[in-house]
A and B are shown apart, each in its own frame.
Chain A
């Protein structure tokens, strides 16, 4: 399989030693008439306070389902459409997968909060922005009177850079511009000082000029509040700017994970190479064409055998004996000697082969 002793099983979280957020072997499967949709199929990662994890992947790679599962939102709504979920989501040591649904609800919006992609559809059109922030605050501060909550809402709107917050607090979402709406959304998410903030494509629906401002805002607020941030995006540029660590998802699983520096400058998975090759870069020769990842995302009902990426992988035949088609590669340390700055990837090619392909064939073209 690999000629370096790189397969080190990830440690199961031992009580008291785990990270602030520790996800272990998370599986989220949706039963449908056509079969079991394995949106997330065995995902593990750790996240510390004050750090930002960027989760990257194509549509349907399981990014958003992961975030909804962490928030416990898969347990809300109609019982018939809920997914099967297994594994662990340990937030400060509390397993949210096994916890009582109402206990998880009490954590939502207080200990963990979420910012969504499209702030226009994510805010209720019939209530004022202030009303919606006040509601989020009072829901977790039942003792706070309306006046105090309103003061708090204005304070938050001011903090996220809304001009004339005392006036705008009474405006409706449709009276805000897209960027202002996303700021208001962030104010709503942060009103209870959450320790974990999940941002699901927070800039995708926004104007390019506004995107950078929103990212700056999230970064500033993270510094101020020291919260852990999960940034879900398909935009590597966003991740490059924001993330300390990067997790690349493909077909519901993690294919590469490590520090932003490692994943960007020494990626060790062909899918990550593909993502980097398809990203427009300002420092690249304008005449070069972007290299798309061939094929389309895998079916989550019939995930390809072996390595889920093998049908699209240009190097699928490099490992001998057709192993890429029969055996699923496990996440393994790229270099066991690296220690703290750990870098994991799931590929059947040997480290030497991958290092060679990256340095000789891929990197020069980027």
Chain B
């Protein structure tokens, strides 16, 4: 188990290194090929050759790409000094460089944005897992009844409707139509939990609707498959009540594919829920990435890409560990 974990962590590091090489390659090599100049992007329009030369030296753009990459990795692991010979700036680890636009450290920017995305992802995940699995189970147990059909039509809608549509309809109905909620901007949990909750409910519901729909469909399909298994018949032959048969015997087997899906979905969401954040004007990682891309803010793009990759890889690792907990036939070797 421990050996397995250590080996998997090596894999995580290796994967992240590959991701970093690729992103570094794209974002720093491409300007070289296309003839655009990162120093110019950093400096903005009003500049002169002396200033650009200074930027090149300070940011290390004058060095070979391989050396720049090593400096980049070293910055993340151990911190980095930006040195022009005249003045020196220390960027403590993990240093992803400075934003071209705001000249703030990328790490600080990400730290600023993570709580928003995390709040969104965690809250929505709780809602969609509970709602999705519950409706999926009910739907499977009431197969081919009106309940089942209604739920599945709802799920189809959930899968088909884009966030920017439900994200508009949900406030229209819940806020302006029924008056159950009010609209507010994101407030940090640490500042005011009530306001935080109030600001999160609509985005949670919108985002959760999309995922819950998929989870309901998968749960229903898996549940129906499991209910046809021999061991369910055995459980019934033992004289167990239908409730025990479903909860203890059927549901546990249904969990396995859901855990896989959840790991990937949740890991992906932590890298930023772009559409939801945009629709509700949240300053999360997703909107930060979009802004960075349109502004050509290369260090921010790289930082967020790496962070998102880390989340996905870690989520996968946790899923694999959970497999072994759920299914005793899975050996971690």
Contacts and interface: CB of A to CB of B under 8 A. Distances in A.
Interface stretch (A108-116, A232-240, A269-277, A345-353): A108-116
Contacts of A188: 234, 238
Contact of A126 (B227, B233, B244, B326): B326
A107 interface: yes
A140 B328 contact: no
Contact of A174 (B143, B238, B249, B329): B329
Nearest to B144: A80
A80 B239 contact: no
Interface string A231-262: 00000000000000000000000000000000
Interface residues of B, number: 27
A126 B240 contact: no
Interface in A116-151: 116, 118, 121-126, 128, 135-136, 139-140
A77 B241 CA distance: 11
B144 A116 contact: no
A71 interface: yes
Given A123-B231, A126-B253, A108 B327 contact: no
B141 interface: yes
Contacts of A174: 328-329
A366 interface: no
Contact of B235 (A71, A113, A124): A124
Contacts of A110: 239
A78 interface: yes
A116 B230 CA distance: 8
B231 A139 contact: no
A118 B233 CA distance: 12
A140 B235 CA distance: 13
A121 B229 contact: yes
A223 interface: no
B1 interface: no
B2 interface: no
A139 B234 CA distance: 13
A135 B241 CA distance: 12
B32 interface: no
A105 B231 contact: no
Given A77-B227, A125-B328, A126-B328, A108 B252 contact: no
Contact of B141 (A71, A78, A105, A135): A78
A291 interface: no
B182 interface: no
A123 B328 CA distance: 13
B236 A73 contact: yes
B230 A125 contact: no
A122 B239 contact: no
B62 interface: no
A106 B236 CA distance: 10
A73 B238 contact: no
A121 B231 contact: yes
A296 interface: no
Contacts of B229: 121
Interface string A43-57: 000000000000000
B33 interface: no
A32 interface: no
Contact-residue bracket for chain A: 20 to 34
A105 B241 contact: yes
Contacts of A264: none
A76 interface: yes
Nearest to A105: B239
A172 interface: yes
A185 B233 CA distance: 13
Nearest to A175: B328
A73 B239 CA distance: 10
A118 B236 contact: no
B230 A73 contact: no
B242 interface: yes
A109 B239 contact: yes
A124 B234 contact: yes
B237 interface: yes
A72 to B, nearest CB: 9
Contacts of A71: 237
B240 A135 contact: yes
Nearest to B141: A78
Contacts of B240: 109, 135, 139
Contact of A124 (B144, B227, B249, B326): B249
Interface in B127-146: 141, 143-145
A200 to B, nearest CB: 10
A122 B234 contact: yes
B124 to A, nearest CB: 29
A125 B231 contact: yes
Contacts of B230: 116, 118, 121-122
A76 B242 contact: yes
A106 B238 CA distance: 9
A126 B328 CA distance: 6
Contacts of B145: 80
A124 to B, nearest CB: 4
B110 to A, nearest CB: 40
A107 B239 CA distance: 7
Residue in B144, B235, B242 with the greatest tally of chain A CB atoms within 10 Å: B235
Nearest to B250: A124
Nearest to A114: B237
Given A80-B144, A118-B230, A113 B329 contact: no
B328 to A, nearest CB: 5
30 contacts: A71-B237, A73-B236, A76-B245, A78-B144, A80-B143, A80-B144, A80-B145, A105-B239, A105-B241, A106-B239, A108-B237, A109-B237, A109-B239, A110-B239, A114-B234, A114-B237, A116-B230, A116-B237, A118-B230, A121-B230, A123-B231, A124-B235, A125-B253, A126-B252, A126-B328, A128-B328, A135-B238, A136-B238, A139-B238, A185-B234
Given A73-B237, A113-B238, A116-B233, 16 more contacts: A71-B237, A78-B227, A80-B144, A106-B239, A108-B239, A121-B231, A122-B233, A123-B234, A124-B234, A125-B327, A126-B252, A126-B326, A126-B328, A128-B328, A135-B240, A140-B239
